[in-house]
Amino acid sequence: MLHNLINRIGLPPKLLLGYAGVLIFMMGEGLEQGWLSPYLIQNGLTMQESALLFSVYGFAAAIAAWFSGVLAEIFTARRVMLAGLVMFMIGSVLFLSVGLPSHHLATMIPTYALRGLGYPLFAYGFLVWVAYEAPLERLGSAVGIFWFVYSGGLSVLGVLYSSIMLPVLGEMHTLWSALVFVMLGAIIALFLNRGKAANDVKKPTASLAYVLKGITIAFENPKVGLGGIVRTINTSAAYGFVVFMPTYMMDLGFTRTDWLHMYAALWTVNIIFNLLFGIISDGLGWRNVVMWFGCIGCAITTLLFFYMPQWLGANYWATVSMAGLFGACLAAFVPLSALMPTLAPENKGAAMSILNLGAGLSTFVGPAVVGLFIGAFGAAGVIWIYAGLYLFAAVLMKFVTLPQTEAAASSRAACGEWVKDKGASL
């Protein structure tokens, strides 16, 4: 299916193995997402300590995500992805053999954080590859497919795998099995996919100044900085949910398996709409889709997902439906991955670094909001904070507009593709 979709959209076929490898790699990265926090709490950590662990993990991921763009331009995407694989494997082994068995927060934090440095280099390194390979008029679709496989592995296949294997393998063996998926995904993306990426040939000189370009561009081009803030807000609620929503849902009468199914449903719908919104945004406009369907949609559905079980009781299907609706709106942020490099065509890697930094920071901000505010305001207060952040992101998107030349080029390309498609159908 993925091969046919890539051909139909008009993307380079060599991206296929990369997409497939990211899907499998992220399955290994995400299989503990929906249940690790309640497992840690059951084994002695408080909710605030669990939130701290996930926040530090997210901060490490944010640092790696920030560097991924400029490093991919300097050293090539392939080498950055390989470095990410090595760091993830080392961090996982240390966390599972030393950190987690100790049940000691001071030991768990550094080992889990080392693991968090690895996956952004792998996944976002490939996203830079996509930004260079895909034609401008199909960039929205190309990044839509990236987020399709990223979310599909991270939050759907990984979570579903856990729901099946936890009763069979137990928590520790399930975590160890993640290394199999990570290695298999890397083999497919890196060692079977031998074609050169577009930025493998011409690379900027490695220098501190160019590395710092991955942060200074946010001030030199404020629209890029605003886009990074919006990307930070994008998935913050989703990453915060894993800290407190399992406990909240189980207190209302749901089981752990019910929660895992809700979380899987959220991301299953999300990956479908990653594709749809990626394609739709090439016609409706990248900014419009992010602002209306993403920011405003997530503000509304975040509240509905939380309050639906209170209004209807432990109604499984109603709550699953709300989770899916939130996941659909979450996907409407996908066009940011097309918008950001287009805002800085001469510094695509640096612009992607800001985007990736935002993606990494969301894994820090989401749990941090829980840790800071759940004690004072409770779960309901945390949910309203997330909703407020999405509304703030909608205001910021009013100012994230394409330069006139790029907007005109994108419109002409889209119009040309529409005419060509119509001519073929006639």
Q: What DSSP string describes 38-66?
A: HHHHHTT--HHHHHHHHHHHHHHHHHHHH
Torsion sign (Cα): 181, 187, 190, 195: negative
Q: Are 291 and 394 in contact (CB under 8 A)?
A: yes
Quick one: pLDDT at residue 405? 44
> What's the mean pLDDT in 126-143?
77
**CA dist., res. 337 & res. 21, Å (int):** 19
Closest CA to 142 of 1, 26, 13: 13
Nearest 5°: phi and psi at 126?
-70, -35
Quick one: pLDDT at residue 234? 95
**CA dist., res. 299 & res. 302, Å (int):** 6
> What's the mean pLDDT in 3-24?
73
**CA dist., res. 259 & res. 339, Å (int):** 34
Lowest mean per-residue pLDDT among 172-176, 206-210, 308-312: 206-210
Task: For domain 215-401, give its CATH number from 3.30.360.10, 1.20.1250.20, 1.10.10.10, 3.30.413.10.
Answer: 1.20.1250.20
Lowest mean per-residue pLDDT among 80-89, 150-159, 190-199, 281-290: 190-199
Global pTM?
A: 0.72
- Computed over every residue of the chain, the mean pLDDT equals 84
**CA dist., res. 277 & res. 329, Å (int):** 9
Most confident of 166-180, 356-370, 411-425: 166-180
Question: If pLDDT is split at 50, 70 and 90, which confidence band does 407 have?
Answer: very low
Can 16-195 and 215-401 be said to share one CATH topology? yes
Q: Are 182 and 89 in contact (CB under 8 A)?
A: yes
In eight-state DSSP terms, residue 196 is: P
Radius of gyration of the chain (CA): 20
Lowest mean per-residue pLDDT among 260-269, 278-287, 410-419: 410-419
Who contacts 287 (Cβ-Cβ below 8 Å, separation ≥6)? 335, 339, 397, 400, 401, 402
Cα angle 152, 88, 358; round to 5: 60
Question: If pLDDT is split at 50, 70 and 90, which confidence band does 393 have?
Answer: very high
Domain positions in the chain are 16-195, 215-401
Q: Is the pLDDT of residue 23 over 90?
A: yes
Most confident of 268-277, 318-327, 335-344, 394-403: 318-327
Q: For the range 295-298, what are the long-range contacts, defined as Cβ-Cβ under 8 Å and sequence gap of 24 or more?
A: 295/230, 295/233, 295/390, 295/391, 295/393, 295/394, 295/397, 296/390, 296/391, 296/394, 297/328, 297/329, 297/332, 298/237, 298/326, 298/329, 298/330, 298/332, 298/390
> What's the mean pLDDT in 320-324?
95
Q: Is the pLDDT of residue 10 over 70?
A: no
Question: If pLDDT is split at 50, 70 and 90, which confidence band does 145 have?
Answer: confident
How would you class 169 by CB atoms within 10 Å of its CB: exposed for 0-12, middle for 13-18, buried for 19 or more?
middle
Question: If pLDDT is split at 50, 70 and 90, which confidence band does 308 have?
Answer: very high
Quick one: pLDDT at residue 17? 83
Torsional class of 46: left (φ above 0), alpha (ψ -120 to 50), beta (otherwise): beta
Who contacts 388 (Cβ-Cβ below 8 Å, separation ≥6)? 299
- How many residues are listed for the chain in this entry? 426
Quick one: pLDDT at residue 244? 92
Q: Is the pLDDT of residue 138 over 50?
A: yes
**CA dist., res. 315 & res. 311, Å (int):** 9
Return the structure tokens found at 398.
Answer: 């009013």
Counting residues of the chain whose pLDDT is more than 70, the rounded percentage is: 86
Task: For domain 16-195, give its CATH number from 3.40.50.150, 3.90.550.10, 1.20.1250.20, 1.10.10.10.
Answer: 1.20.1250.20
Question: Does 229 or 70 have the greater pLDDT score?
Answer: 229
